[in-house]
Structure formats: C-alpha cells, structure tokens
C-alpha cells in the first residue's frame, strides 16, 4: 500500500496510516468545538485508512456521525460518516501535509476567531519562568514517526 501520511494519538496507543489525503477543512460547528476541546475541528479526508497499532474508541455524536478518539489519552482522531472517514489534522505526524482549503459551518464561528493572529506574545517578565519550566519537561508524547515498539523501555 502506498502511504501518504502516518500519525497517531499523543500516548502512542493508537497509530494509523493513510493511503491518500482528501480535502482539508476547519469546521466551526459546536460539535467540533466540543469534540476537539478547541475553537474548531481541523479534519482531512483519509482514503485507505489503516490502524497500525490499537484502535480508537468511538462516540456517536449524532445519528449520522461517529467520532473516534484514543480511550487512553483522549486525543481526538476521526470523524466517520456515510461518506467516509476524516482524520484530525493535528494527529498527523506532519500536519503540514494538510493545509485547510475551506471553512465549514461559519454560523457557529467564535467571535474572537478572526483576531487570534493579532494576539501578543508571552510577556517578557514571564519568559524566564517559562524557560525554567520547559527545561524541566520530560516528554511522554509519542514521536512524530513510526516506532517498532512503544513505549521504549520502562516508563
């Protein structure tokens, strides 16, 4: 099988391969906001989707749609409907492969969405404390590439 993209959840319990990426979108609907815990749902069509490690759990968010997620770490993974399966763009190992080309359901768009790119950066006085925090971080996130075994050694 040809592979256009790989990806998985944050903890690495669920991994997938996609043969061909379809249309990439952001959806402003209230269900996507809730399902992603975010301001919108970033999704890309996933033709030839294959689960290579584990399986997602699913929640039927309506009579027409199931949403897949990792039951262990909670990462949102799929949007599944009669027309096919879409995958969460942020779950791809390389989200740059799926730049969105369309906005869906603009009626539910959050009022501040259009101003996000105008936000200032972190205040100077917080920067030192933040670099100390970052220096102490031990990363448990699965890397952005395929792994033969995971987790690596004793956690």
Closest among 153, 148, 155 to 52, alpha carbons compared: 148
Of 11 and 19, nearer to Zn ion (C-beta) is 11
- Cα 118 to the center of its chain, rounded Å: 24
The verdict on 43 binding Zn ion (CB under 5 A) reads: no
Angle (nearest 5°) at CA 92 between 86 and 98: 70
State the minimum distance, in angstroms, from the CB of residue 39 to Zn ion: 12
DSSP 145: S
Instruction: Round to whole Å and give the CA distance between 56 and 33.
Output: 19
Of 50 and 126, nearer to Zn ion (C-beta) is 50
By rule CB under 5 A, what string of x and - marks binding of each residue 6-25 to Zn ion? ---x-x-x------------
Closest among 42, 53, 31, 13 to 102, alpha carbons compared: 42
Of 110 and 127, nearer to Zn ion (C-beta) is 110
Structure tokens at 61: 């968010």
State the minimum distance, in angstroms, from the CB of residue 15 to Zn ion: 9
- Cα 65 to the center of its chain, rounded Å: 17
Among 32, 77, 91, 98, interactor with Zn ion by CB under 5 A: 32
The verdict on 65 binding Zn ion (CB under 5 A) reads: no
The verdict on 29 binding Zn ion (CB under 5 A) reads: yes
- Applying CB under 5 A, the residues found at the interface with Zn ion are 9, 11, 13, 27, 29, 32, 41, 70, 72-73
């Amino acid at each position: 099988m040809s592979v256009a993209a790989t990806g998985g959840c944050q903890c690495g319990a669920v991994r997938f391969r996609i043969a061909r990426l379809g249309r990439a979108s952001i959806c402003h609907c209230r269900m996507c906001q809730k399902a992603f815990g975010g301001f919108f749902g970033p999704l890309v069509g996933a033709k030839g989707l294959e689960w290579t490690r584990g399986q997602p759990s699913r929640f039927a968010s309506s009579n027409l749609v199931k949403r897949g997620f990792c039951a262990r770490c909670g990462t949102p993974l799929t949007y599944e409907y009669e027309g096919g399966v879409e995958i969460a763009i942020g779950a791809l190992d390389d989200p740059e492969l799926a730049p969105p080309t369309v906005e869906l359901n603009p009626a539910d768009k959050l009022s501040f969405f259009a101003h996000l790119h105008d936000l200032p950066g972190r205040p100077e006085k917080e920067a030192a404390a933040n670099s100390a925090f970052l220096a102490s971080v031990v990363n448990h996130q699965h890397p952005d590439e395929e792994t033969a075994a995971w987790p690596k050694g004793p956690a």
